Structure 1
């Protein structure tokens, strides 16, 4: 293979190097075709767009070809590429039953892992330079099937007795990788007839030929198993290949360290970490990505770590030109559909939750809870009403007691016959001492809100929750507003609930969890944008909504949180809207019957 004239000098030199230590595979003393060098060439030349972080790794790899201490040997890489393309088939639509034909970026990735050898004086032989691999790529670019195929290739092409462990933060995710391996094994007659599977794992040996000898017999004690952080990561023991999937969900290294340590007895171990970006702040992936970027920048020495990051160079380029999407989506047009990603971006332009999810999962931009939930235009609603208009109506109640020394919020949600619009009436409560602790920019606002009776001040350092009870009682006495059910958060609520129930109120606890808060928070956001919530132009409500951000998990569930860096700001009013909507959703049919007078 000769260098292309348009390739950068370092790549061109690498293509032509034939050092004396290199033993070529081909009998005519020529180099075999290198998918990695082809990929480097096309990336450096701009034919294939990749982000600068992958460029940094490719520059390091291109230098390896000129390093006299590194031996270049394509045999292991090409053996595994051939195995995957000839023996493995896809098991999921739309590729089910089709051969696993590797794209250029996948072949280059495999070569990067296997072709570089260094001499290990401790064991007296040449071994792979890279023993750990971090593979970050956007969702639906085939990362799990690729690593699953590589694990199966290691099982068959690697040393006898190779033990492989598939792991993740939860059992279901670990099972996805394991099932991907098993599906490829089952679809190949040649592989299936020399292996067996039970509830514990995959093993060599055909039950119909138990006395057969050799690598593919019962004599080979290698196996493929699965574990999760929650079901026994301590059982890793002695393995040769480890795979940790979706590490973005891990809060710390407790799930991966037992696996990494279980590789320590091997001469030539291989450990994969594969993931997209996630939503866990200060988690394990954040630490690994920080270290990886230090390695790529030459600030940290980790010579055995291959860092393969498909990332964008800026968020702006995503919106400016769709051709840049391939930087984080190398399988776009091959595995992942352009139409799907275009649709997600169109939705993300107007939907905050979608935008946060898409930026993280489709473009590998870490999303902290600094992203505001709603735009100012979404929040602004100057419609007002008079509470007298709702005399004798039914309402849903919501209370955020918060901490006894902080702002608390109480709210009722009302509706009119034949209308989907919600009308909310609310009251806030704060201890006298807390007023002095407010940020300077908020002090005058709160004093004004106290003067307008939008906030009730409790003497001393604690909120008097009985004032909240009396507020609900007053709504009944003065307006005959009957509260159907009242949702509350669980903070310090025991005595308050007993007091409310003594007056005949039906109180329902609303857990502050993903499952409980996500659906109502999304509906509140939609209704605010559609101007279907009339909060009587309450400035405290508007203040709370402006301070509310979304925290999202990997399932796209959301929760309300304070905007990062604004811990002293208040969001209690937004929380009671969401709690109220939770009660409404859970009791919609019964409540609407009361509203309609049926």
Structure 2
């Protein structure tokens, strides 16, 4: 347990100079085991308790407690199941707010005391209220901060940035006292109410403070003079190109506040990886960054996740109050049997880094030595899937066939590659590809690019030789206009399937069917190779899509992609297709 040795700390361990400190209370309860946290957060708390003894650091609770009071009295939740209820902060949230604001150092350049922590990294598992909390802090800063405070919400994509902005705006709208002195439009949130305008003062049009949103894909970020920058889900950022303009934009302020909030991710050597490496050097005493508040809710090992659910709170401080324990139990149970679920749960629910080199499927998942003869499916209907490659790359085409009363999906497939591509392969790959060509798994297009008419010819051949009629074919390349027209001239119905998060559900179904041995792909070696090469990409909504393993562009995933595309067409048209199968 912490010994309160600072001269100004009172006998009551949660008090400093007669003021109750939520941070001290949190530290003491973590130290005596009443609250369970991980080693990394404990290290930061140990560093913070030393500030109470440091004569060069002044402790001033006014700004922190003012913002805590603002959040609890002015802000209301806007989403179920807490919609309309006051935003009453948990102890860990109050301690976090205090840690940002109460420590001050004297700045000789501007000749006054200023906030110590100007850079904040907040890592916590999903569904623990991180976005609402930071949104509430931003809104509190907007109202409690100085006149002209400009705040910028950012993220990797516009939708995620909008989540924080909408959280701020919804809290503003829920409060009559806040909404009557502000206004919002598509450009942002501003002071001044057009219906009841004030001529002067903080809540008038003369206050040029504003809250806006941008994404990593938004241009013209340089030149913005902001006081508060908050970047959500930084784990999705590949580098610091979208971060640096925001950090530079706050540099002109005497007391800027730059906050990064996130869960762990799966991007290899991305921005968060580098940021966490630096953060851990600070915690280990290898790097001096006194202005940086590093607040990490992390597990001490993956083993404790599986062995002791009492340890889950280390990465989930809101467990049981904000985040349902039953929900997390369900996620953990599902992750025991699903590789994709495990990757997601470990990174998003426990902040345990998952390498995006992690394969989507295991060897056992892929293994299926069942075979079939196309004669068995003479005059049947099928679902098509095509991945039309870039110039000089692999192209894949396949048809899913089914039988009435049989849950299995039987796949006939063909791959295509330009002749020039074979010449540029490594010795090992060249040998492999030549074997596939010889065995009839791979068709070679003359020259430097794939001839998509050979893909059309393959579908036509299935019909002419076996009477297999393809009900509908999904394809991913929007620019393949002539191929689509050619297919339609032969009477094939085609439908573009974007390679985006809409592939999530069919991808999950492919995984489940492979694990259940319900996909019979005739033991095709290229299919097997593509499945083995496929890695996972996730977003914050738990959607997934296939991707290449980072740094291994020579490993192809086209066969996995076309399987998922075909499954997307199957899922969207299942009722009509099964009627055709049952004829």
TM-score, normalised by the number of residues in structure 1: 0.84
Structure 1 residue 210 and structure 2 residue 193: aligned?
no
Q: Give 1:546's match in structure 2, choosing from 532, 537, 542.
A: 532
Quote how far apart the aligned CAs of 1:326 are: 1.0
Give, in whole Å, the separation in 2 of the partners of 1:430 and 1:233. 41
Structure 2 equivalent of residue 49 of structure 1: 36
Is 2:480 the counterpart of 1:490?
no
Deviations for 1:152-173, whole angstroms, at most 9, x for unmatched residues? Answer: 3333433344333334444444
CA contact (8 A) 2:152 2:214 kept: no
Distance 1:479 1:461 in 2: 32
Alignment of 1:283-294 (within 5 A): 283-294=270-281
Aligned to 1:518: 504
Moved more, 395-404 or 324-333: 395-404
Matched, 1:143 2:130: yes
CA spacing shift, 1:491–1:111, aligned 2, 3 Å: closer
Q: C-alpha displacement at 1:203, in angstroms? A: 1.5
What residue in structure 2 maps to residue 383 of structure 1? 370
Give 1:31 deviation, angstroms. Answer: 4.3
Contact 1:431-1:459 at 8 Å conserved across structures: yes
Could you tell me which of 222, 227, 239 is aligned with 1:240?
A: 227
Q: Which moved more, 1:102-111 or 1:227-236?
A: 227-236
Q: Tell me, in whole angstroms, the C-alpha distance in 1 between the residues paired with 2:328 and 2:469.
A: 48
1:6-21 to 2 correspondences below 5 Å: 7=1, 11-12=2-3, 15-18=4-7
| 2:109 paired with 1:122 | yes
User: 511-520 or 379-388: which moved more?
Assistant: 511-520
8 Å contact from structure 1 (residues 483, 505) kept in 2: no
Instruction: State the partner residue of 1:302.
Output: 289
Contact persistence 1:400–1:408 (CA under 8 A): yes
Shift of 1:34: 2.5
The residue aligned with 1:4 is none
- 2: distance between equivalents of 1:102 and 1:241? 21
Matches of 1:452 and 1:342 in 2, distance apart?
Answer: 48
Give per-residue Cα distances to partners, 1:364-388, cap 9 Å, x unaligned: 2333422222233332223322221
- The whole-number CA distance in structure 1 between the counterparts of 2:368 and 2:417 is 25
Counterparts of 1:64-143 in structure 2, within 5 Å, are 64-143=51-130
SS at match of 2:20: coil
In 2: Cα distance, 1:588 partner to 1:251 partner: 38
Contact 1:435 1:443 in 2 (8 A): yes
- Say which SS state the counterpart of residue 550 (structure 1) adopts: strand
1:206-285 equivalences under 5 Å are 208=196, 210=198, 215=202, 217-218=203-204, 221=207, 223-229=209-215, 234=221, 237-285=224-272
Contact conserved, 1:395 with 1:482, CA < 8 A, in 2?
Answer: yes
CA contact (8 A) 2:169 2:189 kept: no
1:424-573 aligned within 5 A: 424-429=411-416, 449-450=436-437, 452-456=439-443, 468-490=455-477, 504=490, 506=492, 508=494, 510-511=496-497, 513-564=499-550, 566-573=552-559
SS at 1:94's partner residue?
Answer: coil
Deviation, 1:118, is 0.8
Q: SS of the counterpart of 2:221? A: helix
C-alpha contact 1:227 1:233 (8 A) present in aligned 2: no
> Distance between the aligned counterparts of 1:456 and 1:399, measured in 2?
14
In structure 2, C-alpha distance between the alignment counterparts of 1:353 and 1:566, rounded to whole Å = 20
Paired residue secondary structure (2:400): strand
CA distance in 1: counterparts of 2:395 and 2:487, whole angstroms: 16
SS at match of 1:579: helix
2:471–2:493 CA contact under 8 A, matched in 1: no
Quickly say closer, same or farther: Cα 1:462–1:329, change in 2 above 3 A: same
What's the CA shift string for 1:234-286, capped at 9, x where partnerless? 38733333323333344444544443333233222222222223455544433
Match of 2:320 in 1: 333
CA contact (8 A) 2:250 2:256 kept: yes
Structure 1 residue matching 2:383: 3-state secondary structure: strand
1-structure distance, mates of 2:68, 2:530: 56
| 1:406 positional shift | 4.8
Is residue 240–residue 270 contact of structure 1 (8 Å, CA) maintained in 2?
yes
Alpha-carbon RMSD across the aligned residues, in angstroms, is: 3.6
Which entry has the higher C-alpha Rg, 1 or 2? Answer: 1
Preserved CA contact (<8 Å) 1:163 1:223? yes
* Whole-angstrom CA distance in 1 between matches of 2:28 and 2:409: 60
Q: Secondary structure at the match of 1:311?
A: coil
In 1, are the aligned partners of 2:504 and 2:544 still within 8 Å (CA)? yes
Q: Which runs of 5+ in 2 are unaligned?
A: none
Question: For the residues of structure 2 that align with 1:163 and 1:433, how far apart are their CA atoms?
Answer: 56
1:373 maps to which residue? 360
Query: How far, CA to CA, are the matches of 1:206 and 1:487 in structure 2?
Result: 52
Counterparts of 1:249 and 1:171, CA distance in 2: 13
